[in-house]
Amino acid sequence: MDSFVIRGTCRLEGAVRVSGAKNAVLPVMAASILTGGTCILENVPDLRDAKTMMQLLEVLGGSVSLDEGRAAIDTSRIDTFEAPYDLVRTMRASVYVLGPLVARYGKARVSMPGGCAWGPRPVDLHLKGLMALGAKVRIDHGYIDATADRLRGAEIILSIPSVGATINLIMAASLAEGTTVIENAAREPEVIEVAEALKRGGASIEGEGSSTVTVIGVNELNPFTHRAIPDRIEAGTIAAATVATGGDVTVEGCRPDHMHAVLDVLEQAGAEIETGEGTIRVKGAEEIRSVNIETGFYPSFPTDMQAQMMALLCKAAGASTISEHVYPDRFTHVPELKRLGASITLDGNVAVVTGRDRLEGAPVMATDIRASSALIIGGLMAEGETKVLRVYHIDRGYERIEEKLQRLGADIVRIRE
Ligand code: EPU
């Protein structure tokens, strides 16, 4: 597995363009199953997870080509309805094929996603929602087995505004008979993204981006062409790295309107933020101020930015608290940041980070996508050499991050194995 060697400290400076959003591209790729034709998806980032989803669609009988970020996904010859363990265990988002397969073909067998690096991540809401739409669902030898003649619209009240469940159910309901109303739906931009792609194929969906989404099922959907939104978490990660290094970076090709909570917190930490049409200029201050962060569902502060913010607060003046409300155990980066000399105490889902004047480079281990980017930020802030092992995780969700950081002046190299 590759690793990164980072020599700190540094000051990031310049301009960088963000890639298409991983968490939008993955479900939109799965949504193409609903159309049974060739869908075009643009702005597809070159990521391990995007490749895994393409591989899964191919296993199902689809064919996918990717040329310079433009994917052509032909699902006209789907003849296999099983998402195997080997793929699902490397990428939980494989569960996005569940709703489309049941809705269009009346059957799906998807390996049950297990927990992930930081704890349990159930899919019960996906399954309950599909059952409400009339699917028969059972768990068989570690697989979710779902069948249905034709799904029927229903009212579904989600107990948690789950992004994955909302998206899976919108996809399934778009080919159901009748109207589905999803209450307490997730409001993330990635939900809007899937609805927009499906609407281009003739789906009837209203209210996406609000807590109530209404889907009037249609008999068939046409292939769509869609361009993925920019990755708000990649943009936020670069912004956080800029503040962490007291730098001055313009993030290009992003959507500042998707990033209010993150930009607010960075401003509280002392950054100067200037937003323009698709751009954010971030100027870090000499001193990072301590802040208190509560993660939550969109539009609150995203859990996917929690680790990166924690890294930068390791050098803030004073103590910051970070309360993790989406995944109470998502703290695998804490012991690794401590290896760089950070002072962090953890009590349940609350971390207290006491800023230090100086961090020191050390070998650290990446455990998931966002923990990895936090360790890179830590490495940029630490004196001397930091080796980040298992960057395999970062390649799942960040497109050639080291090249982007190099262009901004970071001393980071990939050691290939
Ligand atoms: N939940 C349940 N039951 C379910 C589904 C979710 O209890 O059936 C709970 C989860 O345990 C969690 C909360 O609901 O406490 C929210 O989970 P959600 O379903 O919204 O998360 P997800 O769809 O599995 C996506 C992103 C994650 C991101 C979360 C939260 C994708 C592919 N993944 O996951 O992204 O952290 O939403 O915003 O879109 C990442 O990119 O690094 C990443 C982990």
Which whole-number Å values give the CA distances from 214 to 126, 145, 210, in the listed order? 17, 26, 10
Cα angle 389, 394, 396; round to 5: 130
Where do we find the tokens 């298409």? 20
Is 116 marked active-site? yes
Q: Which atom of ligand 1 is nearest to the CA of 127?
A: 8
Out of 10, 39, 116, 314, pick the active-site residue: 116
Q: Which atom of ligand 1 is nearest to the CA of 160?
A: 14
Tell me the pLDDT tens digit for each residue of 194-252: 999 999 999 999 999 999 999 999 999 999 999 999 999 999 999 999 999 999 999 99
Contacts of 257 (CB under 8 A, 6+ apart): none
Q: pTM value?
A: 0.98
Q: Which residues line ligand 1 (CB under 6 A)?
A: 23, 26, 93, 121-126, 160, 162-165, 186, 190, 302-304, 326-327, 369-370, 397
Burial (CB count <10 Å: 0-12, 13-18, 19+), residue 20: buried
Nearest residue by C-alpha to atom 24 in ligand 1: 164
Q: Mark 228-265 as b/e (b = at least 16 C-beta within 10 Å).
A: bbbbbbbbbbbbbbbbbbbbbbbbbebbbebbebbbeb
What does the mean pLDDT of the chain come to?
A: 97
Residue 121: per-residue pLDDT: 85
Tell me the pLDDT tens digit for each residue of 148-160: 999 999 999 999 9
Work out the average pLDDT over 167-191: 98
- The two tokens of residue 192 are 């809007």
